[in-house]
Structure 1
C-alpha cells in the first residue's frame, strides 16, 4: 500500500499556504482532478497556472467562493460534480487568524468573523461533501466513498497563552475537533473517513508577519524541535490522512507540532 491517491480532490483555502501546497502534493501523488476554492480569485488563478504547467495531465477547476456562505459552498460542490463526476478527497483548509485582545475585550463582530470562517465554514464544506460522497459508489476495501480532512490546529487540542490574542481562533479550532469527531462516527459505516490535521505554527502568508514580529517566539521556545513546521511537512501529513495508508483511521487528530503538545 502506498500514498498514491486517485479521483477528484476538493481543497478550500487553496489560493495560498497549506491548501495550495496540499494541491501540489496530491497532484504529485496521483490525483486526477483538483477543485480549488478560495475567496481570492487572483491567488486561485496563480495557483492554477502553476499547477497546470507542472502537472498538465491533472484537471484543475478553480472556484471563487466564500466558505461562510451556504449557497456558495453548495454551488461549488455542484459545479465540481458536474465537471468531474464526484469528490473522493476533500481538504478544508480555509481560515483566518483573527488576532484579538483577550476574551472579555473581544468584539462580537470579530468573534463572528472568525467563527463564521474557521468553524461554520468547515462545517458547511464538510456537510456538502459528505452529502455528495453518500451518493457515490463505495469503492470497497481501503478506498470507501471518500476521505475528508478538516484543518484544525495544535490550539484545537490545547490553549495558547492569552497574550497571543487567539481566543476566537482557538475556540473555532476546538469546535473543528468536535465537528470532525462527531461526523467521523456518524459516517464511518458509509465508507467516509473524516480526520483533523493539527499543525504547530507554519510559515504561511497568513502567519508570516506574526512570526517575523515575534508573536510565536514563546510557542517555538516551547517546541522541542525549536522551529515552525513547513508547508511540505503539513501537506505530506494530509496526504497520509487522505490516502489508503490511513484506511483504518477516522475521527483522529493528527498532531504535527514538533513535540509542542507532547
Structure 2
C-alpha cells in the first residue's frame, strides 16, 4: 500500500539510470513532465547528479541503489516505486552490461551467465512487474515500455562480444512478442537499437577509443550521443507514437 499520495505526474522507471543513456533518458523524461525512479548498481555519486538534474527540471526523483539483475534488487525497486509514487506509467529497461571483449572460444560460461542474467533475465523480470502494474488486464491504466537493445543484435558482435549481441537479439525478440501480447491491454512495447554511442560502456569493456576508432565505419561519419538516443526513447513513450508498438528503432547513424 502506498505510504504517500499518488503522484499527479506520470511516473517513469529507468533501470540503470545513473549514467550514460539511462541518465539522458531520466533527464529528458523529467523535462517532459515525468516523475522519475532511476536505479543504479554502484555509482551513487553519478546517480545523485543525474537525480539532481532531473529535479531541477521540476520532477520528483528517487535514485535507488538496486541491481535489477538480482531478485532482491528488483523487489526493493518495485516496493519503493509503490511506496513513493503509487503508480507506474512507463518503463525503460536500460540496465545492461557488455561483459569483456573476446571471441566465443575465449569466453567462459561465467561471462555468458552474467550478461544474460542482467540483459535478458533482469529485463524480463522488471517487465513482468511493470505489466502487473500497468496492464488493463490487472486493473492498470496502460502505459509504455521501451527496451534499450543494440545494433549489435543485427551485426552479431563477432570478434568483440558475441555474448552481448546474442543477449540483445533476445531483447529484440522479446520486444516483438510482448508488443503483440500486450497490445490489447493498453501497453505499447518498443525497442531502441543504439549504434556507436559515445558513453562509458566502451571504456568499461576495455576499449576507451572505440567510438573514435570506428566512427569512419558509420555512414554519418560520427558516433552518436546519449541525448540523441534519449530523444528516440521519449518519443516512443509519448502519445506522438500512439500507433507504434513492436518497433525496433535503430539510432545508429545508418550503421
Equivalent pair of 2:27/2:50 in contact (CA under 8 Å): no
1:184–1:102 Cα change, 3 Å: same
Equivalent pair of 1:86/1:136 in contact (CA under 8 Å): no
1:26–1:136 Cα change, 3 Å: farther
1:71–1:132 Cα change, 3 Å: farther
Q: Deviations over 1:126-183 (max 9, x none)?
A: 1111111124543xxxxxx1000010001122323x22x2111001000101111111
Counterparts of 1:232 and 1:62 in 2: how far apart (Å)?
Answer: 19
The 5 A counterparts of 1:150-189 are 150-160=147-157, 162-163=158-159, 165-189=160-184
Equivalent pair of 1:66/1:73 in contact (CA under 8 Å): yes
Residues 1:128 and 2:129 aligned together:
yes
Residues 1:77 and 2:99 aligned together:
no
Q: Secondary structure at the match of 1:255?
A: strand
2:4 is aligned to none
Q: Secondary structure at the match of 1:250?
A: coil
1:119 Cα offset (Å): 1.3
Residues 1:36 and 2:38 aligned together:
yes
Equivalent pair of 2:202/2:210 in contact (CA under 8 Å): no
Normalising by structure 2, we get a TM-score of 0.89
Equivalent pair of 1:74/1:128 in contact (CA under 8 Å): no
Q: Which moved more, 1:10-19 or 1:202-211?
A: 202-211
Residues 1:191 and 2:169 aligned together:
no
Question: Which one has more relative contact order, counting CA pairs under 8 Å at least 6 apart?
Answer: 1
2:20 is aligned to 17
Aligned pairs, how many? 243
- Structure 2: gaps spanning 5 or more residues: 1-8
1:207 Cα offset (Å): 2.0
Equivalent pair of 1:203/1:211 in contact (CA under 8 Å): no
Normalising by structure 1, we get a TM-score of 0.87
Q: Secondary structure at the match of 2:146?
A: strand
Q: CA RMSD in A?
A: 1.8
Counterparts of 1:184 and 1:206 in 2: how far apart (Å)?
Answer: 28
